[in-house]
Structure formats: structure tokens, C-alpha cells
Structure 1
């Protein structure tokens, strides 16, 4: 029997079984005997490696390159799938398909590697795509071995390399210091990925020694004329070299450094640039010529001033970390020329921006993730009822929602909204009753000052699809009532930062109600609470699911950690998200 052969070959090792199953899954049943016969051997100590090698050999050439790229990632971490796909796109690993974006193709590659057991799915995004992935340490070691043997890439902890002239892809991991000498020339280098100490949130090193005061001049960049991918994390960098504008092959430029304050105007000459990631920097402005680069796809900043005008950026997919520092005209905004945007994060919005934003949304038919932060605490209620947001799946609103002169009974136009985050929204019970009717809502996050009243009730007809609920730092709230038929699908509840909170579990009415309250509930995560939660009436089933976690951090971090509670908590709280 096949079962017995698989058990004999794998010796019951879970990793070997998963990877072998992934290989067999990609084969027809008639090919199984051939695969299994190749793996019969007396060298039991090397069996896992033999299975991995056979699975790797079975991949298409493009998938092999995508898999080997994980060899350059730090091990034992969780990786953002979007980050991985952007690197693949810049490297040219993905084969274009008519009618699909490169991001869609990258997602299909990730799913293929997951189905084969080569990488592991951690979490899906609201649309069902891959959000976070990880890789088993033995598979990671195998990938590094293969990458080195095939001269695909090399991983080092410093830049003191024996043969820099032959390197095509270099990955540097150094978590003890943020400065590593890099004066070497790399004439054949195509990609460089660095992860240094500064960005390691869980690292105890404070960079106070003499090395921590030194800055990288990035002299190796002008000496590496064929660079396509530059991803530098944690290096102390004040500015990029002026010569970078002459390196027209660059597709991906990522500099996540708290020391970076300036991106020189020469960056506007990078005519093939796809990704700019300066998320952790202090850069406020970029030269206007940069916004004429037609190949731009994701641009990620940190309080980066939104440009007055942009070119025809029809390839733009992601725009995050932007501040509206100047008013927009009635129907003109930078977003009007980014018709295929999927992910938008903008702060500093005022009454001078909302009308133009509403007009822009009519064109942004691909928009899935929207984060808006108001500068004057006035987010118009019409955002939920009048704006064209049919496809939006994630909506994050930071700022008071202005419900004056509006009809609270107006129909919401958010049929696909999967995740809603409110912070400083100052909404009332009537508003909560209405959002409880959203048909697709699965995750609800209520942060500080999101609710104004002292009592909150989840009615019997409310939040029928919600599986994850987070409530953090809601100072006014002292009593939360859960009706028998409310949140019937809830799996996890996270509570944080309450000085005192009474949870009222109202009794059942009618024989049609289930015997147990919230039958799908798995866990109630509680942290940063000054007093224990009071539950009335006492419910042993509910109380047994309460898991107290000692976390002292910002509410946003708690929000992320608790949403991924359970099997992800240890890694999330430690901050080791790549």
C-alpha cells in the first residue's frame, strides 16, 4: 500500500511526510510508484534531504528561483508575502500572463510552493490570498545549501568576502552592530539584501558603541553597475549616493533606516524603478521627477509629503505612509492618475481633501485596503454610505467620524468589508448597531476613543460574521453586554487597557437559541488590565477560555499581537515579523 511505503520512506517524520505529500499531489496517480521507488534507500539519515532534493528538482525553473530566494531571508521568522513578491518581480522571476498583475502571478507562485510543502502558510489576507508565510528551519538550510552550490546567492554576516568578483546576489545578516565595512567592489552583483541591528525590534543592542555612530556612505553602489535590487534594513545611512541616478537597472530600492533624511534628486532618473521602500526613514519630500517614473508599483514612506501632481502611474499598486500637507482641488488629487491602486494609506486629511478623495474613489475600482487618518478629527460619515468602496476589504479610520447633518439609517456601501479598524472615531451605540449589519465583516478592532458611551451592547442581530474582536484602551467603556445571538461566529476576543470592565452575558430567550454561549469561542486574550474582568452572571465556560498575557506595549502592537493570538502569539509578541 502507498501508505506503508510513505511511512517507510519518511519514518513518520512530519516534515518528510508533508513535503513528500506535496510532491505526490503534483503528480498523477500513475507516477507515484516512480517517485516512491526513487526514494527507497538504506541511507535513512539522509532521507529528508533526499526528499527535499527530489521535490526541488521537480519545480519549474522559475519556481526554483523563487524558492531559493528564501535562502537569503533570516531564518525562523515570519515573512510578509507582499515583500517577497515585490523582490521576485524586481528580479524578473515571474512570467507575465495576460489579464493578471505581477502581484497576482506572485501569489500563485506562493500558493504552489505552499501546496508542495516547501513553505508554510501562516495567515491569509481578507481576500483569501497569502499574507504571511514561514519556512521550516531544515528546508531553509536546504535552500541555502542549494543556493550556494548553484551560485544563486550567498549569505554572510559581514562584507569580508573571499571572491566578491563572482557574486551575483549577496545577503548580509548582522544583528550585533549596524555598521559593517562594505568598501568592496562587486562588479557582477545584481542584488544585495542587508538586515542589520538597527531595525531588529527585539534586539537588546542599543547601538551606543563607536560602531553605532558610523554611517554608511554606500560606496559599493556606484561600483556595482548592474544592481537591480537594493534592500538595506538597519544600516545607518544619512543619504543615498548621488551616483545612484546613473544606475538605470535598479528595479527595487529599499532603505529602511532611521538615520535617512534625504533621497537625492538623482533618484528621478531611475527609469525602471518599480519599488521604493523608505518606510522607517525621516524623508519628507522626493523630487517631482520621481513621480513621472511610469514603472512605479509600490511606494512606501513614513510621513512622506503627498505630491501635488504625478504622471500617468497606471502601474501603481501600493501607496503608504503619505501625509497630505497641501489642499487638493475639487476633483484633482494625485490618486486620480493611479487607477489600479490596491492599497492606500494617507494621513493629514482635512475638509480640503474629502471631496477630491470621493471623486478619486470613483476611478479606484481595484482598491482593497484603505487607511485614512484625519488631521482635524472630521471624517465624513458619508465615507461609509456615499463613497464608491464596493471592493474594499480592509478599512482603517483614525479620527472622529462626523455624523452631524447625516441620516444614520442610510444604507452602507461596503458589501465586501472584511476588517474594520476604528481609532479616535468617537462613535455611539447607534453607529455600532449599524456596522453590526455589515455582511462580510470578520475582524473588528476598536482602539482608544473609538466609542464615546460607557455602555456597549452587541444586539442579537449584530456582527453575525465576526470571528476576531479586539477592544483596546477604551477609557469610557465600563460595561459590555453580549446578547445570546450576537457574535455567533466569534473565535477570539482580545481585551486590553481597561481600568475596569464588566461583561454582561444576557440570558437566553427561546428554545431555538443554542445551549452554549458563543459556541465557536476558542480564546479570550486579556492584557494590560488594572483589574480583573467582572463577568455577570458567572459563566465557567467563558471564564475558562480567558488567557491573561503580560504585554506592556502600544495598543497598535497589542492589536496585531492579539489578532494573531494562539499559535502565532509567541512570534508576534517577540516582534520577529519580517
Structure 2
């Protein structure tokens, strides 16, 4: 699930997955999605796995939409530590006596090595019979057994020559004196709650153990090393993903087009720019810095996301490097000298910028659709982008979710503009200065 998913989205996705290979019932026209799902799963044994659910109300609606036929059906929730309240709420629904919460512990030395090897080698290297156990301890010392740190480290070494470059990187990351204490904590950001629907009255969980700072520090050190190893062009492409909120799924094609408009992708002989951009995405995936969310039948990556535990580091690095300014309604002051500006809102609100951004090259706006169109307030006002009329050096404009009825006329006269994407339901007409 993403942060902007609604209960209807979730139920529809469950319904679509459960409905694969079945004929469409003739009598379900006009039925609510919850009723359709309950009818589809009635008297069937099912296992539903949901990741990222963070709202008790949504959990209640999902629970009400799943039939309880005492046949061993199960629901598995994979939750963040921040969603502990949801786990406790699930406690009121679980079958009495069932231990429904299981904290995913860190891997031991041997299993850390196994996960590392599975990610570090390319296909042509996977058949090697050499003894790799000598790396088990150092991989475990560096990562502390945290899965995300292990796969990011593996993604880094995947692009290094072994053994020389491997040894250099591992030696650099090896824990030094005074670091051992940071690795003594027990904590993990993921909780897995198994919810039994044998009886819908009582669910049982245990309170989650708060993840301590060692998790963040361990992953951050490995992430930093992997990020610094990126070629400059690819580093810019990766930093650009900070323009989107956490947990947002991005379309690969759109991302590549934006990279091209920004000038991050340099021409290569015999290749078109889009091909180079998709190769960049593949490399970020192989380095475990980007996750694949969807692939088409031909095996081409179509949707991607940044792991939520890496998104914070990505956002911090983009800010510290002055690469992009990310703002929301609570942080509306933007320096006039900004070159790249990202405005993010998941509650539908949009700020009014009063500054003139003469040096602005890119404006990316991501506002949640449903929150703005689900209230009557949307009928009383419209947003506007008048502040962009003074930004004549704009190369890219990407706007999603605003209630816009028009764009500034000056946009058509921006000779540097390479990319314009507007996903706004109320926009009916483009300015006459824009010629298609």
C-alpha cells in the first residue's frame, strides 16, 4: 500500500487478486466493493497479506469485508513500528490465546552471508564454487544483520571487482573501535501481525519493541557508501527521486522523461535517451537503492519506488547538497534563489507562494487527489500557479492534484521548457501561447 491509498483501493486490489481466473459474476453490478469481496470469498479458505496499513478505520473496513466461516482463513499484516496502534487495535479482534505479533529479528552471521551472496553476484557469477564464508563475519559486522543494510551493501559490491575492490570497500565500512555498543540494541522497524479470523472477537498482540538508533545508523553508513559510489549522472537521477513523498509509486517512463528534461542523461553512441534512462533505473534496482513495483509481460520495469527507510536519507542528502528544496504547507518559506522546488501535500492543501523565483528551473507539485476532491471546499476556490510567470528559465513543470482552472499564459513563452505535465481534473483549456 502507498500513503495515498484508500480503503476502496485496497479492497479492489484484494478483489482483483482473488478474482483472477474466475468469471465475472453476473449479479454483482452495482454492489459495493466490500460486498463483492465478501461474496467472492464466502465459504472459501483464504490468506490475505497486507503491507503498510496504518489506519485503524481502514483495518475495520477490511475486517468487515472478509467473510468469517471458521475454516482457517488468515490475514497477515506487515506493519511499521509507527503503526503500533494498529497492531494493538488488531488485538481486540484476534482469537484469544493466539500470539499474533512477531517481530522480525536481525539475521545471524550465516543467514546474513546467504542473503548477501544471493544479491551480490550477477547471473554469470552465480555458478562459482569458491568459498565465500570468509565474508560472513565482516558482512555481519558491517550490517548488524539488518536485511536492508545487507542488500544495499550487496548492491554496492555487485559493481566492484573481486577480491581487490571488495576488500577495499569492506575494510572501509568495517566497524571501528567504539562502534560495538551501537550494535548491541535489539530493534527492528517491521512488525508482522498474524490475524486469525477463526473468531472475530479477540485478536492478541504483544507490544512492539521500539527500534533504537542502531538500525538507522547501520543502514545510513551502508547507504552513504553506496550513494557515494554512484556515477555523477546516476547520482543526480537518484537524488531527483526525493521530489516525491515517501511510499509513492513512480512510473518509470515518466521518471526517465523528467531526467532527460533536466539534462541528467548524456547521449551515448548507438542508444536513444529513453534506453539510457531505463538502464539507469535497472542499475539503481540492482544496487538495491530502488525497488521494482511493477514489470510488464516483457520483463520491462514500469513502476518503481524508494524504500521508506532509505527515503529519509535520500531526502536529507538532497537537501544538504542543495539539490532540491522540498516543502509542504507547514514549511512554506522558499528562498528566492531556489533552482528546483518540490511541493508535497497528502491532505490536499496548497500554499500561496509570494516570492518571485527568477532562477527556478524545475517545479514539481504532488498533491493528493482524493483529499481535495472529497470535501465541499474544492468548489469554493481554485489554486493558481501565478508565481511561475516570473520563472522564465523553467525547464520542467510537473503538477498533480491541484484544483486548477487555468495555467499562466507566460508558460507558452518559456523557451527553455522541455517538459510539461499537468494532472488536474478542473483544467479544461491550455493557454493560447501553448501550441501543440
Which category of TM-score, normalised to the shorter sequence, fits these structures? Answer: 0.5 to 0.7
| Corresponding residue for residue 194 of structure 1 | 365
Match of 1:228 among 395, 405, 425: 395
Q: CA deviation at 1:178?
A: 4.7
**Matched length:** 265
Q: CA deviation at 1:36?
A: 0.8
| Corresponding residue for residue 262 of structure 1 | 429
Q: Distance between the aligned counterparts of 2:350 and 2:334, measured in 1?
A: 21
Q: Contact 1:176 / 1:205 at 8 angstroms: preserved in 2?
A: no
What secondary structure, in the 3-state scheme, does the structure 2 residue paired with 1:89 have? helix
What secondary structure, in the 3-state scheme, does the structure 2 residue paired with 1:170 have? strand
Match of 1:3 among 136, 146, 156: 136
Q: Distance between the aligned counterparts of 2:330 and 2:255, measured in 1?
A: 23
| Corresponding residue for residue 17 of structure 1 | 150
Counterpart check, 1:68 vs 2:201: no
Q: CA deviation at 1:204?
A: 8.2
Q: Is 134-143 or 122-131 further displaced after alignment?
A: 122-131
Q: CA deviation at 1:162?
A: 3.5
Q: Which has the higher helix share?
A: 2
Q: CA deviation at 1:212?
A: 5.2
Counterpart check, 1:37 vs 2:208: no
What secondary structure, in the 3-state scheme, does the structure 2 residue paired with 1:132 have? strand
Q: CA deviation at 1:150?
A: 0.4
Q: Distance between the aligned counterparts of 1:216 and 1:78, measured in 2?
A: 25
| Corresponding residue for residue 318 of structure 1 | none
Q: Which has the higher strand share?
A: 1
Residues 132, 217 of structure 1: CA spacing in aligned structure 2 closer, same or farther, 3 A cutoff?
closer
| Corresponding residue for residue 122 of structure 1 | 293
Residues 180, 162 of structure 1: CA spacing in aligned structure 2 closer, same or farther, 3 A cutoff?
closer
Alignment of 1:408-557 (within 5 A): none
Q: Distance between the aligned counterparts of 1:159 and 1:223, measured in 2?
A: 24
Residues 123, 217 of structure 1: CA spacing in aligned structure 2 closer, same or farther, 3 A cutoff?
closer
| Corresponding residue for residue 169 of structure 1 | 340
Match of 1:104 among 272, 275, 280: 275
Q: CA RMSD in A?
A: 1.8
Structure 1, unmatched stretches of 5+, are: 269-289, 291-578
Q: Distance between the aligned counterparts of 2:381 and 2:350, measured in 1?
A: 7
What secondary structure, in the 3-state scheme, does the structure 2 residue paired with 1:65 have? helix
Q: Contact 2:347 / 2:372 at 8 angstroms: preserved in 1?
A: no
Q: Distance between the aligned counterparts of 1:155 and 1:125, measured in 2?
A: 32
Deviations 1:480-517 (A, max 9, x none): xxxxxxxxxxxxxxxxxxxxxxxxxxxxxxxxxxxxxx
Alignment of 1:79-98 (within 5 A): 79-98=250-269
Give 4+ residue runs of structure 1 displaced > 4 Å after superposition: none
| Corresponding residue for residue 247 of structure 1 | 414
Q: Max radius of gyration: which structure?
A: 1
Match of 1:182 among 341, 345, 353: 353
Counterpart check, 1:207 vs 2:370: no
Question: How does the TM-score come out when normalised to structure 1?
Answer: 0.44
Q: Contact 2:336 / 2:355 at 8 angstroms: preserved in 1?
A: no
What secondary structure, in the 3-state scheme, does the structure 1 residue paired with 2:388 have? coil
Q: Which has the higher contact order (CA 8 A, sep 6+)?
A: 2
Q: Contact 1:62 / 1:94 at 8 angstroms: preserved in 2?
A: yes
Q: Distance between the aligned counterparts of 1:32 and 1:160, measured in 2?
A: 43
Q: Distance between the aligned counterparts of 2:418 and 2:330, measured in 1?
A: 23
Deviations 1:275-321 (A, max 9, x none): xxxxxxxxxxxxxxx2xxxxxxxxxxxxxxxxxxxxxxxxxxxxxxx
